[in-house]
Amino acid sequence: MRCPLRHKKTASALRSDGTCVGGNCGLDKHSQTDTIFRMLVAHSPNARKHFRNKKTTEGNSHVSHDLQRAANVIRGLAMDGVEQAKSGHPGMPMGMADVAAVLFLRHLRHCPAHPEWPDRDRFVLSAGHGSMLLYSVLHLAGYGVTLDDLKAFRQWNSRTPGHPEAGHTPGVETTTGPLGQGCGNAVGMALAERMLAARFNAPEFPLTDHRTYVIASDGDLMEGVSHEAFALAGHLGLHRLIVFYDDNGITIEGRTALAYSDDVRRRFEGYHWHVLEIDGHDFEQIDGAITAARAETDRPTLIITHTHIAHGAPTAHDTAKAHGEPLGAEEVRAAKRALGLPEDQTFFVPDDVRLMFARRAREMDALYRAWDALRARYEAAHPDKAQCWRDHLAGTLPADLERALPSFPADKPVATRIASSKTLQHLAQAIPMLVGGSADLAPSTKTLIEGAPSVARGAFEGRNLHFGIREHGMAAILNGMALHGGFRVYGSTFFVFSDYCRPSVRLSAIMGVPVIYVFTHDSVYVGEDGPTHEPVEHLASFRAMPNVTIIRPADATETAAAWVAALRNTRGPTLLLLTRQNLPVLDRNRYPRAAELAKGAYTLWQSAPGTPRLVVLASGSEVSLALDAAQRLPPQPVIRVVSMPSWELFARQPAAYRKDVIPPESLKLAIEAGTSFGWERHVGTEGRVLAIDRFGASAPYQTIAKHFGFTPERVAETIREMLAGG
């Protein structure tokens, strides 16, 4: 741990008593504290008046004692939970317990009695491996996480899983664990707060006025997604975002110095952040830093919090072992002894600590009631805006959404990305809460809401988000916006770059967050850009991911229907896969309604009445190819063409419908310009798949189609072979 004053970079560290070692500082503990305190004030001039009148914890030994007592109880609960489970990460909760105590008892606006309060502060434990810190605080704060829940840490069907899960444990705002993800989510939450405030706040009615707090670890800052998200947060000036960097110098393998020597202060100053640096075990410094961060009105704040991992454990502190292993019974007893806790009692919570948190809960309940009264006055003064605000928070969609869709003439081919853009413009008019953007590809993905302003620093009224070339950050931010509430969000890039989004898409699926991903340039028909830009295996890989709905529409009319299906899917993410190249527009006077897309697969055309001898299954751009080929053949034996834009929507249909569309006794041929993997579940052992089980090539897409066999002649020949028993 370096001296928080950073007088010199060489060898500055803190002794256990808080004094600087290495001969660089020359100040004792109290001089350091006083100097740091004044530095914090200097960094935030708006806080000076508050600081002049504030009785700090250093000057109030009773308050300091109470916070220390609460922090040590948190440490005890965390140790006991991990020890009982024989699994977990005790070090981080013990190291950050002091910060958590100050934050929850003195600063965080939250109300356990009303956990869904829209204007609550959000707290994100991005370092999700330290989940026992969060569970312990939620128990003390009164969120209904019981001692029995703490005792069931990491056990089957408990409310205290190994890493926090949104929607599973009361008070948990997002699912964290994969490092860096919580950082991105928090940026999304902070962005959503500013956008809601810009839309709905009125003079004297700060309806949306909260902050987002994050605890991030060394690992969070090493992961690239945190860089992407935090750089954008600084660019946008999200000043209500406050991040504690738990700088304890330890990772699983040992000291962070093995692989990590970033100058974090300079890095975040380069992001245009407000940066503070404190001793994370000094209550005055913690409190002062949070106050200074709250007073900042132009930039997000990083509080570099120097801590000891497993603080309070006699031999385990500052060791890599404390990161991810139980301390052991003897070390736990010794730690409790050092912390002033009963060494032979587990899950100990004294009455005085319960009283502290109960008192804070009453204060927060009063704060909630004051806000609720403000809301009532707002609704009386601004009824129309209030109704729109309620619709935003509830995610209310127009009942007649289909009426908002555009029409497409059947005589004019159009790429589905272009059809998507036209659809988006119509839907945006009908759904004010629909917002989104792209990873610097809007001119190609066609995802700009025309006539709407862009979101920018100090101008959050807009609807178009510009994420820069940051696919991973984009997806994590979208998750955070969706979790925050108030908007239906979409993000876009080329389908091949979905690899950069995948970890965040997976968390969208785990949490059941309804983010819409618009992935264009969906196949080898990207053409001249070559195999690096041609997604081949991506469709199969996302189909393997649970709770992801994928829709690959066949034409412009199905694209419009796909947007409706995506908006109505609130159980998880939806992926819209769209073409770069033009496709024929199906004449819906001749073929079934495009709204049939909502069933995932439907009979598009059949050569003659009766049970088909052969069913051709196709998605996306291959549907018109299947139609062309099948319609070249004689009407007997009976051939059916099925448009199958979504396996997932089809799987949700009744078994009778699925058997009717794809009769078990019929031969099946699947056509898709991607890998064949997975199609065997639909075509069976006797069926065939016309696919591309290799990487693509660089050439005009018509040439690619010919060489890979995606021509009407080749498809018709394959059908004849199958009907002949070949």
Q: What is the tens place of the pLDDT at every residue in 241-268?
A: 999 999 999 999 999 999 999 999 999 9
Query: b/e map of 499-516 (b: 16 or more CB within 10 Å)?
Result: ebbbbbbbbbbbbebbbb
Gyration radius (Cα) of the chain, Å = 29
State the pLDDT at residue 3. 43
Question: For residue 195, what are the contacts with CB-CB under 8 A and spacing of at least 6?
Answer: 435, 455, 460, 461, 486, 487
- Asked if the model's pLDDT at residue 647 lies above 90, the reply is yes
- The pTM of the full predicted model, rounded to 2 decimals, is 0.92
pLDDT tier, 605 (very low <50, low <70, confident <90, very high otherwise): very high
Asked if 124 and 114 touch (Cβ cutoff 8 Å), the reply is no
What's the CA gap between 419 and 424, in Å, rounded? 9
Of the chain, the percentage scoring pLDDT greater than 70 comes to 91
Asked if 424 and 563 touch (Cβ cutoff 8 Å), the reply is yes
pLDDT tens digits, residue range 300-355? 999 999 999 999 999 999 999 999 999 999 999 999 999 999 999 999 999 999 99
Cα of first residue to Cα of last residue in the chain, in angstroms, is 73
Average per-residue pLDDT for the chain: 92
State the pLDDT at residue 621. 98
State the pLDDT at residue 397. 97
State the pLDDT at residue 63. 74
Rounded to 5°, the CA angle 167-223-89 comes to: 60
Q: What is the 3-state secondary structure (H, E, C) of 564-613?
A: HHHHHCCCCCEEEECCCCEECCCCCCCCCCHHHHHHCCEEEEECCCCCCC
Q: Where are the beta strands (DSSP E) in 141-294?
A: 212-217, 241-247, 250-251, 254-255, 274-279
Measured from the Cβ of residue 300, the count of other Cβ atoms closer than 10 Å reads: 28
Quote the distance between the C-alpha of residue 683 and its chain's center: 36
Query: b/e map of 77-116 (b: 16 or more CB within 10 Å)?
Result: bbbbbbbbbeebbbbbbbbbbbbbbbbbbbbbbbbbeebe
Name residue, tokens 């983010």.
515
pLDDT tier, 53 (very low <50, low <70, confident <90, very high otherwise): very low
- Closest C-alpha to 128, from 265, 286, 324, 276: 324
State the pLDDT at residue 623. 98
Question: Would you tell me the crossing angle of helices 131-141 and 91-102 to the nearest 10 degrees?
Answer: 40
What's the CA gap between 260 and 591, in Å, rounded? 61
- Note if the bond before 635 is cis, omega within 30 degrees: no
Question: For residue 641, what are the contacts with CB-CB under 8 A and spacing of at least 6?
Answer: 603, 604, 605, 606, 615, 616, 618, 623, 626, 627, 630
Phi-psi region of 249 (alpha: psi -120 to 50; beta: other; left: phi over 0): left
Name residue, tokens 């991506």.
538
pLDDT tier, 12 (very low <50, low <70, confident <90, very high otherwise): very low
- Asked if the model's pLDDT at residue 62 lies above 70, the reply is no
Question: Would you tell me the crossing angle of helices 61-85 and 131-141 to the nearest 10 degrees?
Answer: 120
- Asked if the model's pLDDT at residue 363 lies above 60, the reply is yes
- Closest C-alpha to 84, from 162, 154, 159, 158: 154
- Asked if the model's pLDDT at residue 8 lies above 70, the reply is no
State the pLDDT at residue 60. 56
pLDDT tier, 726 (very low <50, low <70, confident <90, very high otherwise): low
- Asked if the model's pLDDT at residue 190 lies above 60, the reply is yes
- Closest C-alpha to 247, from 293, 323, 308: 308
pLDDT tier, 27 (very low <50, low <70, confident <90, very high otherwise): very low
State the pLDDT at residue 707. 95
pLDDT tens digits, residue range 217-241? 999 999 999 999 999 999 999 999 9
Question: For residue 114, what are the contacts with CB-CB under 8 A and spacing of at least 6?
Answer: 365, 368
Structural domains of the chain in order of their starting residue, each with its CATH number: 1-43 (no CATH), 57-365 (3.40.50.970), 401-583 (3.40.50.970), 597-723 (3.40.50.920)
What's the CA gap between 323 and 254, in Å, rounded? 9
State the pLDDT at residue 714. 97
Asked about 471 being catalytic, the answer comes back as yes
Q: What is the 3-state secondary structure (H, E, C) of 368-411?
A: HHHHHHHHHHHHHHCHHHHHHHHHHHHCCCCCCHHHHCCCCCCC
State the pLDDT at residue 470. 98
pLDDT tier, 61 (very low <50, low <70, confident <90, very high otherwise): low
What's the CA gap between 413 and 585, in Å, rounded? 6
Span 389-400, average pLDDT:
96
- Asked if the model's pLDDT at residue 22 lies above 70, the reply is no
What's the CA gap between 288 and 56, in Å, rounded? 8
Report the range out of 34-48, 53-67, 358-372 with the highest average pLDDT: 358-372
- Asked if the model's pLDDT at residue 23 lies above 50, the reply is no
What's the CA gap between 541 and 526, in Å, rounded? 19
Among residues 471, 596, 622, 648, which one is catalytic?
Answer: 471
